[in-house]
Every structure is written in structure tokens, then in C-alpha cells.
Amino acid sequence: MNLFEQRLWQVKEAPFRPNGIAHTETIFTIGNGLVGVRGAFEEGYPGESATVLAAGVFNHAQGQLVPELPVLPNWLSFRVRVDGETFALNAGRVIGFERVLDLKTAALRRGVLWLSPNRVTLRVLFERFASLDNPHVMALRVMAQVMSDGAHTLEIVDALDATGNNLMNVDHWSKRTLSADGAVLRFDGTTSQSAYRVAMRAHTSADVGAAWSDVSASRVAAHKASLQVAQYEKVTFTKIVALHTTRDAGDPASAAEQTLKSAVAAGYDALKSAHEAAWSDVWQRMDVVIDGDELAQVAVRFSMYHIMIAVPTQDERVSIGAKTLSGFGYKGHVFWDTELFMLPPLTLSYPERARSLLMYRYHNLHGAREKAREAGCEGAMYPWESTDTGLETTPRWANELNAQGERIRIWTGDNEQHISTDIAYAVLQYWRWTGDDRWFLDYGAEIVLDTAVFYGSRAEWNADAGRYELSMQIGPDEYHENVDNSVFTNRMTAWHLEQALNVWAWLSADHPDEARRLGEALQIDAARLDKWRDIATKMWIPTSDQGDGVVFEQFEGFFDRLKPIPLHDFSPRTANMDWLLGHAKTQESRVIKQADVVMLMALLGDQLGDRAFLRRNWETYYPVVDHGSSLSPSIHAWVASRLGLIETAYELFVYAAAIDLEDRKGNVHDGIHAASAGGLWQAVVFGFLGLKLTDSGPQIHPALPSHWRRVAVTVRWRGRPIRLEAHASAAESARVQP
């Protein structure tokens, strides 16, 4: 890759690239599921976004359209002065610079050799991590060493800096209290609307005597210390931070004080060892080994790292936002991205974490039911975007105006209704892989059945045609809004109702008490079951013959009403087609944002038809996809590999890998594309490795890129770890090892 030297467990930046700080802040994010800390510099840098976010702590500030995650105090703030000159990358001269994200241990390290304006050479090493062993703990270690001869004065200014606001300078806090007391810094705050209380505590020490004096200012708790050092003398500072909120503690302040006390007593090295042990367990479960392709190996590990630092480990009432906790993109909201893109790696390799994310949907059934009622339907209709409340949080109007000076209506919250069947799909995949009947009986079945109740009430009977239809839909291709009979939505709805009938039959036969309970709660009776069968059988699945055989029609009128657009006329480009054509013209054009029919092929595969039929659909829709969403390339890579298009699949895999690492779309400053990260894993495991689950267990049908020597991954089926391996060698092409 162009920007970073790749090693099998490292993402590296060397030398410093000042024009790329917004990009590197995102990719160098650390976290642990409770907190995300962007990769800003401890000493600060002009234009940076030193952002700390906590999972589930949302606030709807006055004047804002929707809730978002408020920025927390920047606990990284740590400034070094040598002989009165402040260490800064935009002052003096940077002689050497290297920053490394260690994926294996989830630690970010940086080394800088710096020449001050007064010609004093300073060496500074930084290391930070957010503990996976105890998600309420974060830590920073800084080593400073003056390389010039003579005696020198080192001055440290260490802070909890709460001066930062969210984008558009939105302030989410009604109350802030900050103070410094010797080696300890304190922050206590309350959000303005949601009334979350947040407490942060920090303790900073040095390996030599350091006396701290209070230099706090408005919205900053700070202290400083001065030291006399000789040439080559190393001084190491350790900063340990504790964070609690009312999501996890009735009294966050007391909890933070106790957590800090325990963490300081344990010490940095012990905290780091426990953190590394926790990550060792993660990689034992989650690692995908790719021999023969360093880029692919690091990219998949980088992707899994960013999913795992966002997975909540202690709060099943929160989920993973589309940009994780790595940036302000989508304001921390949860989409279908979680269930169909991020969840599969967890379902197969770390099912406990997958179960927690599915519980977020269970706990928020109330919001789905409220939305269904508002739409005049029954059952549970999940919001397109959700936060901590479970209610729909998609804005109805965009902030900006269109070229005609008109407000832009956002329809996804109203009509992108496939999310409910996407969630049911994820629940059923979890159940199928784990065999966790107890969880399914207590929680999962209710999700599957009540979303089926919704679709049963939403389907429209067309008496003239003798079929059921779904009007005013938005499929995965969001370039075309409010279409009739999205083939993705219609086919997934029919599949969903078929599965709901199977679930009901299983409940009735094997768990009659649970069937009775759910039947009464969800008003499922014989008439409703008969209607589900009727809809599943008679749902219209649009098809068309364009001269080369029958294919799916993405939605009603896709071929007849839309104007073909030769995408190659716009190459090369990085901008999406809706930017180039404009919203209205894109709606009228046969160009699609992302995998839509191809997404259906990924999820249902052979259930849709034979290989020739699937290949015709690929040849119809692949030439017109824009990949305007980061969700698209990895899914296309998965499907292409299953169709035997290995070179194309690999090109798409590399495209997906570059989205974040190389900032392919120029928008990584908003946060990690977490769905693309999960999709990359699926491209390898479901695509190149060819993993399928049969009644007798997992099977693989590999088709590896020509230069890959081996792919190996461990999955869990019904509680048992199973090692899957595929080799380039024909003599040892595939193995499934219990």
C-alpha cells in the first residue's frame, strides 16, 4: 500500500504525513467496546479532532435534528517542553517519526526525534491502550529523553481537556466540573437532554520525583511538573485513566475513583499484561490466516481489530454504530450494517459477542413496535437508524439544501424497511450456528415472529394480478428511493415468512408452552399463519428477460423506465455518481449505489436458482454498480468468488481493503467503515474459502486467488471449535478439523 508499510500484525506510518492527520486519526483509533479514542497526538496538532466517545451515551442537543454521541474530555492531552520550547510536530524540525498500530496487542505506539527551534534534540516515545480486560481503564506511557549535551529543564503539562465540542460546535453538556488535585485530574459532567452522568479520573506519575501544581483553566483540568535532566537521561511518565457513566454505575464519580485507585495500585505493566491476555484470547478465536499475500493478511486483521474494539462487552443495550466509536460519521447511529456485515464474524467465531449485539435488538422491540403502529402496521418494524432509545432516529430532512434551494427529504427512515428481515436473518443465522435453543426461546423467536407479523400486515394484495406486493420501498440501492416491489425486499420478506412458519412449527412441536406464550403475546393464530403461507407463496418476485435469459428485476420499472449510464465514461473517478449526476438524474438512471440483487445472491445463494441464473444476474448488475457505498465491494467479492470469477473477486477484495487503509473515498475522517470491515471477512470466509453450513456441519469449497498459499480460520459450530483450512496445493486443498 502507498501510505503504510505493512507487516503481518502492524499498520505503520513513517514518515509523518501532516496532510493525512484526519485519515490517520481514524485508522489509529484504540478502543474496547466501551470507549473509542481517535488517534490524535498527545501534544496536539492544528486541525486535529481529538475525540473520545463512549458507547450508548447519546444526547439530543437543542436545535439538532437527531441525537448523537457527545465528545468526552481528551484524556490524551500531554505536552512536553524542553528549555521553554514546546514539543510540537509543526514547530522545530522532525528528524524521525514512526507510528505503529500493533493489531495483536491493540496498542498504539509512536516515536519522534525532534529538534527544537533552540537546537535541542528531544526523543519522545508514546504508548497508549484502552484495556480490554477492564473497559473502564485506559492508559498512556510517555518517555522523554534529551539527546543534546548539558543540563536541561523538562516541563510537563498534563490535562483532561474538555474544550472540544462536536461537529458544528454543538455542546452536549449542561454541567461540567473539572479539577486538579496533586497527581489526580477529575471530570464530572451531565449531558443536556439525556442526563447521562459521566465521570473521568486520571492519575499521572513519573519514575523520578515530580511535584504537580494546578494549572487548570476553563473546561480544562491540568497540572504541571518541572524536572532537571541531563543528556540521555530518560524520564517516563504514566497516565492511568478511569471512565464510568450512568449506563454502568449509579454513582459514576465513586465508581471512577475506585477504578482509578485499583488500576494505579496494579500499575501500568500489570494493566498492559491483562489487556494483552484478553486480546490473545480474541485472536485465538478471530484470526484469519492468509499465507502468500501480506496486504490481504494485514487488511483482514485490521478489519477484525476495528470490529472488536467496538463490540460492547458489558452492556447488551448498546450496539455498534456504522462508524464504530472512531468518528462522528452517522452520529454513532446503528443501521443494518451491524447485523448483516459486522455480526457474521462474531456469530461464527465469538458467538457470545454476537448474542450481546442481538440482545440490543431484543431490548428495543418496543421501539420497533411503536414504529410499526405509527406506520399503520402490526408487529415490529425496526428503525432504519437507532440509538440508545430504540426509536427511529433517522432525520426526516437533511441540513443542507439542494441546487434549487429546496430542503432535501430523507426517506430511508420511512421506507427502507428491509432492515427488519435483515435482523431476523441474523438471529436465525446465530441460532443455526450455535444451536442455542434457550436463547432463541427466550429472545430470538420473538424477534423473528414479531417482525414476521409486521411483514404480514405490510404486504399488499393485488387482486387483479393475484399476488402480494410491497410498494414505496428502498432496497439496498439507495440511489433509487420509494420504488415498488424491490426484489431484495420482496424476496427476503417471502423467505422471512417461510422461516417464521418453520419456527412456529418447531415451537408447537417441541416447546408448546413457549408457542402458547408467544402466540398470546404476538396474537399469532391459525388465520395469521395461513396468511403468512399465502404471502410467502404469492409474493411477487420481479423478473425480466432482457434477451439473454430471465434475471431478477431490481424493482418494478428498472429496465423500462431508467436510462442506461455508461459508467466507464466517468472513469477514473473517486466521487460517487450521485455527486456527479445529481440526485434527480441519478434516480432516473440505471446506475446502482451498491450490491442489491447481488446482496440477495450473497444471502440466499443457491436458493434463488441455478448457477447460470445467478451468473446472468451478475452480468446484468455488476456493470452498473457504482460502489457508492463502502458496503458494496466486499459483497461483490464474495459473490464473484462463488461464481468462479476469482480475478474479479480479488480485485474487489483489494478495493474493499483499501477503503479505510488508503482512504479510497476520501471520507475516512468520519470514521471507520465498519460494514466494509465485516464484509472483508465474509469475502474471505464465505467467498474464497467457500464456507457453507449444512445439516452435518460446516463445509468448505475453496477457490483461492492464485498467489494465496493457504487460508485458515476457526469457527464455532454448536459450541465446538472447528478449524477450516484451504491450501493452494491440490494434494491438500481443503480440511475441516474438529
pLDDT in tens, 339-379: 999 999 999 999 999 999 999 999 999 999 999 999 999 99
pLDDT at 734: 61
Give yes or no for a contact between 384 and 413, defined as CB atoms under 8 angstroms apart. yes
Residue 627, CB-side half-sphere exposure with 13 Å CA sphere: 21
Q: Distance (Å, rounded) from C-alpha 79 to C-alpha 140?
A: 13
Determine the average pLDDT of the residues in 130-152: 98
pLDDT at 2: 40
For residues 580 and 218, the model is more confident at 218
Kindly state whether residue 180 falls inside one of the protein's structural domains: yes
Kindly state whether residue 524 falls inside one of the protein's structural domains: yes
Kindly state whether residue 267 falls inside one of the protein's structural domains: yes
pLDDT at 404: 63
Residue 658, CB-side half-sphere exposure with 13 Å CA sphere: 15
Angle CA 519–431–701, to nearest 5:
140
265 and 402 assigned to the same domain: no
pLDDT at 398: 84
513 and 377 assigned to the same domain: yes
Mean model confidence pLDDT for the chain: 96
Q: Is 42 a catalytic residue?
A: no
235 and 375 assigned to the same domain: no
The yes-or-no verdict on residue 127 having pLDDT over 70 is yes
Domain end marker among 227, 262, 284: 284
Kindly state whether residue 666 falls inside one of the protein's structural domains: no
Kindly state whether residue 504 falls inside one of the protein's structural domains: yes
Query: How buried is residue 547: exposed, middle or buried, by Cβ count under 10 Å (0-12/13-18/19+)?
Result: exposed
Residue 102, CB-side half-sphere exposure with 13 Å CA sphere: 16
The yes-or-no verdict on residue 393 having pLDDT over 60 is yes
CATH number, position 238: 2.70.98.40
* Tally of domains within the chain: 2
Cell digits of residue 388: 440508545
pLDDT at 5: 44
167 and 72 assigned to the same domain: yes
The percent of residues in the chain predicted with pLDDT above 90, rounded, is: 92
Residue numbers of the domain that contains 455:
364-581
pTM: 0.96
380 and 511 assigned to the same domain: yes
One-letter amino acid at 329 equals G
Q: Distance (Å, rounded) from C-alpha 184 to C-alpha 404?
A: 55
pLDDT-based confidence at 618, cuts 50/70/90?
A: very high
Q: How far is CA 344 from CA 355, 627, 737, in A?
A: 11, 21, 20
Domain end marker among 581, 602, 635: 581
Residue 11: which of 672, 575, 667 has the closest Cα? 672
pLDDT at 3: 42
475 and 571 assigned to the same domain: yes
444 and 552 assigned to the same domain: yes
DSSP string for residues in 501-525:
HHHHHHHHHH-HHHHHHHHHHHT--
Q: Distance (Å, rounded) from C-alpha 682 to C-alpha 696?
A: 21
Kindly state whether residue 97 falls inside one of the protein's structural domains: yes
Q: Helix 445-458 crosses helix 351-363 at what angle (to 10 degrees)?
A: 50
Q: Distance (Å, rounded) from C-alpha 701 to C-alpha 12?
A: 34
Of 177-181, 479-483, 562-566, least confident by mean pLDDT is 562-566
104 and 252 assigned to the same domain: yes
Determine the average pLDDT of the residues in 186-208: 98
pLDDT at 539: 99
What tens digit of pLDDT does each residue of 445-470 get?
Answer: 999 999 999 999 999 999 999 999 99
Kindly state whether residue 82 falls inside one of the protein's structural domains: yes
The yes-or-no verdict on residue 436 having pLDDT over 50 is yes
228 and 137 assigned to the same domain: yes
Q: Distance (Å, rounded) from C-alpha 660 to C-alpha 680?
A: 12
Give yes or no for a contact between 222 and 213, defined as CB atoms under 8 angstroms apart. no
What tens digit of pLDDT does each residue of 168-177 get?
Answer: 999 999 999 9
pLDDT at 582: 84
414 and 512 assigned to the same domain: yes
Backbone phi, then psi, for 511, in 5-degree steps? -140, 65
What tens digit of pLDDT does each residue of 651-702 get?
Answer: 999 999 999 999 998 999 999 999 999 999 999 999 999 999 999 999 999 9
pLDDT at 731: 44
Residue 536: which of 489, 471, 468 has the closest Cα? 468
pLDDT-based confidence at 403, cuts 50/70/90?
A: low
Query: Of the residues 478, 481, 553, 556, which is catalytic?
Result: 478
Give yes or no for a contact between 260 and 271, defined as CB atoms under 8 angstroms apart. no
Q: Distance (Å, rounded) from C-alpha 222 to C-alpha 157?
A: 7
Task: Give residue for cell 464530572.
Answer: 188
What residues contact 161, with CB distance under 8 A and at least 6 apart? 50, 73, 74, 77, 219, 220, 222
3-state secondary structure string, 255-322? HHHHHHHHHHHHCHHHHHHHHHHHHHHHHHHHCEEEECCHHHHHHHHHHHHHHHCCCCCCCCCCCCCC
The yes-or-no verdict on residue 263 having pLDDT over 70 is yes
What residues contact 23, with CB distance under 8 A and at least 6 apart? 663, 668, 669
CATH number, position 499: 1.50.10.10
438 and 566 assigned to the same domain: yes
214 and 114 assigned to the same domain: yes
One-letter amino acid at 546 equals Q
CA dihedral 170, 172, 178, 183 (to 10 degrees): -90
What tens digit of pLDDT does each residue of 8-41 get?
Answer: 999 999 999 999 999 999 999 999 999 999 999 9
pLDDT at 402: 67
pLDDT at 1: 37
Domain end marker among 284, 302, 337: 284
Q: Distance (Å, rounded) from C-alpha 348 to C-alpha 198?
A: 35
Backbone phi, then psi, for 6, in 5-degree steps? -95, 130
* CA distance between the termini of the chain: 36
- H or E element: which one contains 716? strand 710-717
- Give the strands of the sheet with 35-37, arranged side by side: 30-31, 35-37, 52-54
Cell digits of residue 54: 463512549
pLDDT at 78: 99
pLDDT at 133: 99
Kindly state whether residue 661 falls inside one of the protein's structural domains: no
The yes-or-no verdict on residue 195 having pLDDT over 60 is yes
